[in-house]
Every structure is written in C-alpha cells, then in structure tokens.
Structure 1
Amino acid sequence: MAAAASIAATASFVQRSGQQLFLDGAPFYVNGWNSYWLMVQSIEDSTRPRMFAVMMAAAALGLTVCRTWAFNDATYQALQISPGNYDENVFQALDQVIAVAQQNGVRLLLSLVNNWEDYGGKAQYVAWARRAGQDVSSADDFFTNPTCHQYYKDHVTAVLTRVNTFTQVQYCNDPTIFAWELMNEPECQADPSGDTLQV
C-alpha cells in the first residue's frame, strides 16, 4: 500500500471557492500527471501490473491527480463497441483503475472522448452517425450533428451512472474522480474562431 492516505478514508470531494480548490477546508493543490493508458493497460493480466506500479510510484512521490481516458470507441480493446454498447471487461478495468487510485490517495481527471482518431474519437461518432443515415462527412460534424450529440450524451450518462464493481460507488458520487474533461484536446478545424466549440 502506498504512503498516501486512501481517499476512501476521507470520502470528501475537492471543491472550488473562487479561484482556489479546497479539500475539507484546506487548500488543495494539483500535483499531477497524464497516464492516458491506464484503462487499456488494466484489461490484460500481463499489462495490469503497470497500472498498479504507476499508482504506487505516484503516491510515493506525493502526486495528487492523474489524467486518464474514460473512452475507447470501436477500436482494439474498446470500451464503447457501438453507441451505447459497452464491453463489460473493459469497464471493469476502468473500475479497477478508480479503485486503485482511491487506495493510493490519487484522484482522477477522466476524459470522455478524443478529438483525434486514436481510440475512436469524434471521427468514430461521426462514422456511427453516418451508418445511422445522417448526412455527415467531416469529423468536425461531431460538434453540430444532433445524432452525434445524442451518442455523446448517452456515453457521458453511461460513465457517470456506472456503479464501480470494486467499490460499489457510482462514478458521479465518487470523490476519487477529481474532474471530468469533456474532450481531449478539442479542436474544430471547420471553425477556427472557436465559436462552435463553445455551443
């Protein structure tokens, strides 16, 4: 077990007041890192030790927040195989990432979709919409097409309402989850003004 106290022992959410983050009334400072691969590495017995090792090392270094993916759409080891259809084994791998983070006193920033084609991303949502008969062609149609919007909203709902099979805590009620990132590195090349991203 890592030196950091388990989050389960405190069971408090990090909160914001003005521009400062607080945990149980004391300032909370993010000292974090990005390990986007935690879920996919946790699926197989042969690669799972890497997830355990990075969590323990991070805790020993005093790191407080890890940014990682809560998506993988229609690719190898996909979480979401098709709209609303999930691989339970992959979801359980994400469950375990959260449980191990909790045990090591690490909080997670979970990203919900990729801007890029890696791990499916917005292009996969557009491909699913096209198969459903939508008139879409560009990956940037993700930002304007109602079917893509619904698929994304459904994914967000599926993740936030997921009950962790290790902790029995619904994701939206788990203080281990520090924050949600709506999209990894969002970009809409069809609208360089950025207005489309703000809708």
Structure 2
Amino acid sequence: MEADEWEMVQKKGTQFVVNDQPFYVNGFNTYWLMVFAADESTKGKVTEVFKHAASVGMSVCRTWAFNDGQWRALQKSPSLYDEDVFKALDFVVSEAKKYKIRLILSLVNNWEAYGGKAQYVKWGNAAGLNLTSDDDFFSHPTLKDYYKAHVKASSFKFNTLKPPSFGHYFLSF
C-alpha cells in the first residue's frame, strides 16, 4: 500500500479483495484506542499497539468509535460531541494507516461499558420517553434516530490531522 493509497476492501465471491488481489484478515480487537488517545499520558500506547501489531503481520484492528455519555465521552448526549475525543479518534485512524492496519470501527456496544445501547435508553428516558428495556434501542423510533445521527456524524467526520483527501473514517475496511 502506497503512502497515500487506502483502497476499500471489497468482496469478490467469497473472498475479500483489495485492488482485485486477495486480502486476508489477520486481526485483533483493541476497544480502548480512542479513549487512550484522548489522554496525552496514554496516547503513546496507541502507537505502540499498531507498531507491534504490524511487526507480527496483523492487518485489521477492530476498535470502538463510540463512548457515550461517560468519562472521555465522544458523544456527551445525542448529537453533542467532544471535538477533542474526535481528534483522538483521528489519531487512531492516522496511526493505523501509518502502520498499514485497516480498521473495523464499532459504533455502539451491546453492553453498558462505555455507554452503548443502555446510554441511548437513558437519554430517551431523560427526554420523557417511557422505556423499560435496553433493547428498546433496536425498536424505538427516537433511539433509532439518535443512533442514525451518530452514524451520520461519525461517517461524515473528516480527519482533522490530514486534508480531506485522507477520506472518511469508514473507508478503512
């Protein structure tokens, strides 16, 4: 992959391909990258993880592009974002590219850790909805709208560390 090249992984039959060549996923899961990147005292660990992963042949990292309503929250409340945490996510994306590691970015969690669907239900109840289950996240129109707005805000957020030619976050995999 050239320095400025960042082609989207595609599917051809049952095979992932990049530039019509087979692409094999050798991946790892590191949920905490954005949160660590948001703190100068732990930001260097992001670089260390990608450097080490690249040295052992890893090609894909699944990490979180969310942290809802809690400590170092990306989304403090529906559609209200902390720009510094978005910059931390930018750093994660930039470091991944530097080490030629593609990203799968998760946008919500099924569990309460880092907010997840439970936080959307809390926001809905705070707005006067009568929600009784975290699973209302999947069916209540207001919560679905909150989530759709988050997907839109995240997917159209340009990287602040490089010019817009770097592309949208979701062109990583």
TM range (shorter): over 0.9
Question: Deviation of residue 132 (structure 1)?
Answer: 1.3
Quick one: distance in 2 between partners of 1:145 and 1:25? 41
Find the partner of 2:159 among 159, 164, 178.
164
Amino acid at match of 1:41: F
Normalised by the length of structure 1, the TM-score is 0.82
Amino acid at match of 2:111: W
| Contact 1:30–1:65 (8 Å) recurs in 2 | yes
Give yes or no for the alignment of 1:55 onto 2:50.
yes
Normalised by the length of structure 2, the TM-score is 0.94
Q: Deviations over 1:165-191 (max 9, x none)?
A: 01233425x64x21xxxxxxxxxxxxx
Which residue of structure 2 lines up, in the alignment, with residue 140 of structure 1?
Answer: 135
Q: Which ranges in structure 2 are unaligned for 5 or more consecutive residues?
A: none
Which residue of structure 2 lines up, in the alignment, with residue 74 of structure 1?
Answer: 69
Q: Which ranges in structure 1 are unaligned for 5 or more consecutive residues?
A: 179-199
Q: Deviations over 1:57-112 (max 9, x none)?
A: 11111100000000000010000000000000101000000001001100000000
Which residue of structure 2 lines up, in the alignment, with residue 42 of structure 1?
Answer: 37
Amino acid at match of 1:102: K
Quick one: distance in 2 between partners of 1:30 and 1:104? 15
Question: Deviation of residue 117 (structure 1)?
Answer: 0.5
Percent of pairs with identical residues: 49
Between 109-118 and 130-139, the greater mean CA deviation after superposition: 130-139
Quick one: distance in 2 between partners of 1:11 and 1:114? 27
Give yes or no for the alignment of 1:92 onto 2:87.
yes
Which residue of structure 2 lines up, in the alignment, with residue 188 of structure 1?
Answer: none
Q: Could you say what the CA RMSD is over the residues aligned between the two structures, in angstroms?
A: 1.3
Which residue of structure 1 lines up, in the alignment, with residue 148 of structure 2?
Answer: 153
